[in-house]
Amino acid sequence: MKYFETRYSQDPRRTVVWKQITSYLSRWITPDATVLELGGGYCDFINNVKAKEKHVVDITPNVKKYAATDVHAHVADVRTFTLNQKFDIVFASNLLEHFTDEDLEKIMKNVSHLLKPGGQLILLQPNYRYATKEYFDDYTHKKIFSHISLCDFLATQEFTVKTCKPKFLPLSFKSSKLPAPGWLVWLYLHSPLKPFAKQMLVVAINEKNN
């Protein structure tokens, strides 16, 4: 897809930053967990997470190129992807804003089916409340979410929000002033002050008994 060449090209800083993000998120992910990433792209999260079993799904065949050897890579559409397996964790970063309301219903139905009852959905999303000027610089954005509307949407899908951080990360690597050295990224993630933060973090529990 041309999108990966123009808007979402590979960036060497990504690996450094994602190692720290994944380490931060590990408080919700036990080493014996089964983890699925939706729309994994360059696989920066799934390659770094420590878990018993790791899967990633993306519509682009390149996902198999970037997935580590211990990751099961699936080339499929997240709206229709199915697997005869239940996961402890489903993770997605900058994914839901690319879909229509109808598509989001399909995705969430899939997520509910793929998650164990009581399993956790971890989302990183642009927060429109803090990113109004840049939000539609990405021409593939179709849906607006703030931390309020995302939590409300998850509630309609029978998820209980456990954690919501309205300002967690800068919006993108292109506009980000987040420094690349790992220790500085660690400091940023653990600091109560979040300059340039326009992405939110939401962790929600699947309440459906599938």
Q: Angle 80-85-89 (CA atoms, 0-180°, nearest 5)?
A: 85
List CB contacts of 181: < 8 A, sequence separation 6 or more.
16
Query: For the segment 94-110, what is each residue's pLDDT rounded down to a tens digit?
Result: 999 999 999 999 999 99
Q: Which CATH architecture has domain 3-206?
A: 3-Layer(aba) Sandwich (3.40)
pLDDT of residue 210: 61
Query: For the segment 109-120, what is each residue's pLDDT rounded down to a tens digit?
Result: 999 999 999 999
User: Which residues pair with residue 37 across a beta bridge?
Assistant: 56, 91
- Closest by CA position to 40, among listed 11, 5, 75: 75
pLDDT of residue 1: 54
What's the average model confidence in pLDDT over 74-78?
96
Q: Quick one: what percent of the chain has pLDDT higher than 90?
A: 80
What's the average model confidence in pLDDT over 40-55?
97
Kindly list the domain boundaries of the chain, sorted by start residue: 3-206
What's the average model confidence in pLDDT over 11-16?
74
pLDDT of residue 37: 98
pLDDT of residue 25: 98
Band of residue 126 on the pLDDT scale cut at 50, 70, 90: very high
What's the average model confidence in pLDDT over 33-55?
97
First to last CA, the chain: 35
What's the average model confidence in pLDDT over 86-92?
98
Query: For the segment 140-193, what is each residue's pLDDT rounded down to a tens digit?
Result: 999 999 999 999 999 999 999 999 999 999 986 554 444 467 878 889 999 999
Band of residue 40 on the pLDDT scale cut at 50, 70, 90: very high
